[in-house]
């Protein structure tokens, strides 16, 4: 463990790229330490390594397998307690601005511009003596069913997160993805009841995924919706799987899925335009995607294992920049969406 921490510190001091990541419900961590500070781009998705892509699709970068030292290690088993720091839930100005943005989205839906749009906000938290490895370690302990990562590149920044959402898993000709939407805070009750707004939002995502995937795959199957817990939040989830067509490329499938309705909206392109025009900041790599591209670190056959960059933060200049988004439909209530965004912010605040 000391060797890993020393390597991280050396790479940060020398401004060399690296990534650590832990897969959902899998013991062990994979680390990739790039040997120089080059910025590599993904062109046709035949590359091998760890991919890190932006929301708008204009930036898709790679820590290449062949340019990196790859290490496998296990974390010491210990209980990580959530932070006891009392963080503010955002000020009144932030609340008013976000509720105004949500109201604008609801109006656009009522005017039939789109069926759904996912709107987000950014929150800044001052931090002192931030330790990237310790924060990563806490996230793995607190969220074992999430894809947990920390990523650094001098030209991209320092990102860390614990995302519950798979974008795409491809192994041979088989693929898996999920439809994830709807949010409610865990109250300790075993009875999870969903309103029509949340059910409808999740069904939008499922219908979209299935219809799009049928153009590039056969035998597309999906499960009944079920509730799943991610940290202190519950979501509605549907598993989708099938066989990719012989002439379908990985690039084609990724571009078809990203950004998903769960982070963008429906119809996708119109919702995406609304987000870019109306959100008061550039999402950058928040709601982009990341993960293994054509790697065989844990399998004999190369596979791709990609996740949506949710429940994440960017760390710079003694501040953590947190990102939270909410799915907006015709039945959304601005005040409730603000509360949902506050609940989502706690995933990262628990480790600060």
From first CA to last CA, the distance across the chain in angstroms is: 21
**CB-based burial, 296-309: b 16+ in 10 Å, e otherwise:** eeeeeebbbbbbbb
Please state, for a pLDDT cut of 70, what percent of the chain lies above it.
Answer: 95
Q: Which two tokens stand for residue 113?
A: 């511009």
Residue 175, exposed/middle/buried by CB under 10 A (0-12, 13-18, 19+)? buried
Predicted confidence (pLDDT) at residue 45 exceeds the cutoff of 90? yes
pLDDT of 128? 87
For the beta sheet containing 116-126, the strands, ordered from the edge strand earlier in sequence to the opposite edge, are 68-73, 29-34, 18-22, 147-153, 157-163, 312-316, 319-328, 116-126, 265-266
The Cα angle at residue 254 between residues 183 and 233, in degrees rounded to 5 = 15
Predicted confidence (pLDDT) at residue 320 exceeds the cutoff of 80? yes
- Return all residues near 286 (Cβ < 8 A) that are at least 6 apart: 55, 120, 309, 310, 312, 314, 323, 325
Predicted confidence (pLDDT) at residue 139 exceeds the cutoff of 90? yes
Three-state DSSP class for residue 251: helix
pLDDT of 79? 63
Tell me the pLDDT band of 324, cut-offs 50, 70 and 90: very high
Cα-atom radius of gyration of the chain, to the nearest Å? 19
Residues 57-62: contacts with CB within 8 Å, 24+ apart?
57/255, 57/258, 57/259, 59/285, 59/288, 61/153, 61/156, 62/293
What are the tens digits of pLDDT across the range 194-227?
Answer: 999 889 888 988 998 999 999 999 999 999 999 9
Spatial distance between the Cα atoms of 104 and 92, rounded to a whole number of angstroms? 18
User: Average of pLDDT values for 76-87?
Assistant: 66
pLDDT of 297? 76
Tell me the pLDDT band of 296, cut-offs 50, 70 and 90: confident
Spatial distance between the Cα atoms of 159 and 47, rounded to a whole number of angstroms? 22
Three-state DSSP class for residue 134: helix
Spatial distance between the Cα atoms of 272 and 322, rounded to a whole number of angstroms? 20
Across the chain, mean pLDDT equals 92
State residue 167 phi and psi, 5-degree precision: -85, -50
pLDDT of 36? 98
User: Which letter does DSSP use for residue 50 in this model?
Assistant: E
What are the tens digits of pLDDT across the range 47-63?
Answer: 999 999 999 999 999 99
- Return all residues near 216 (Cβ < 8 A) that are at least 6 apart: 244, 245, 248, 252, 253, 256
Strand partners, 221: 241
Task: Write down all domains in the chain, each with its CATH number in brackets.
Answer: 2-349 (3.60.120.10)
Cα dihedral 221, 116, 54, 27 in deg (nearest 10): -50
Predicted confidence (pLDDT) at residue 148 exceeds the cutoff of 90? yes
């Amino acid at each position: 463990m000391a060797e890993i921490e020393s390597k991280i510190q050396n790479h940060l001091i020398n401004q060399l790229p690296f990534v650590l990541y832990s897969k959902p419900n899998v013991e062990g961590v994979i680390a990739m330490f790039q040997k120089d500070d080059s910025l590599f781009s993904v062109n046709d998705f035949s590359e091998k390594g760890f991919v890190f892509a932006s929301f708008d699709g204009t930036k898709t970068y790679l820590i290449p397998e062949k340019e990196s030292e790859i290490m496998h290690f296990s974390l010491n088993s210990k209980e990580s307690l959530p932070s006891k720091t009392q963080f503010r839930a955002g000020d009144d100005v932030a609340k008013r601005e976000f509720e105004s943005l949500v109201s604008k989205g609801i109006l656009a839906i009522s005017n039939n511009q789109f069926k759904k749009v996912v709107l987000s906000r950014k929150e800044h938290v001052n931090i002192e003596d931030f330790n990237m490895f310790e924060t990563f370690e806490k996230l793995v302990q607190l969220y074992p069913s999430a894809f947990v990562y920390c990523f650094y590149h001098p030209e991209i920044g320092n990102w860390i997160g614990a995302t519950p959402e798979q974008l795409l898993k491809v192994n041979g000709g088989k693929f898996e993805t999920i439809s994830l939407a709807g949010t409610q805070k865990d109250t300790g009750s075993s009875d999870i009841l969903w309103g029509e707004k949340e059910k409808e939002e999740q069904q939008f995502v499922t219908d979209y995924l299935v219809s799009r995937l049928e153009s590039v795959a056969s035998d597309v199957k999906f499960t009944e919706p079920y509730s799943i817990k991610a940290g202190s939040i519950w979501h509605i989830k549907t598993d989708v799987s099938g066989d990719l067509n012989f002439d379908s490329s990985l690039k084609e499938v990724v571009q078809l899925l990203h950004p998903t309705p769960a982070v963008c909206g429906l119809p996708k392109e119109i919702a995406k335009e609304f987000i870019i025009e109306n959100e008061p900041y550039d999402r950058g790599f928040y709601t982009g995607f990341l993960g293994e591209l054509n790697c065989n670190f844990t399998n004999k056959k190369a596979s791709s294992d990609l996740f949506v960059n949710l429940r994440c933060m960017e760390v710079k200049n003694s501040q953590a920049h947190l990102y939270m988004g909410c799915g907006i439909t015709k039945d959304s209530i601005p005040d409730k969406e603000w509360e949902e965004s506050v609940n989502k912010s706690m995933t990262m605040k628990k480790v600060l």
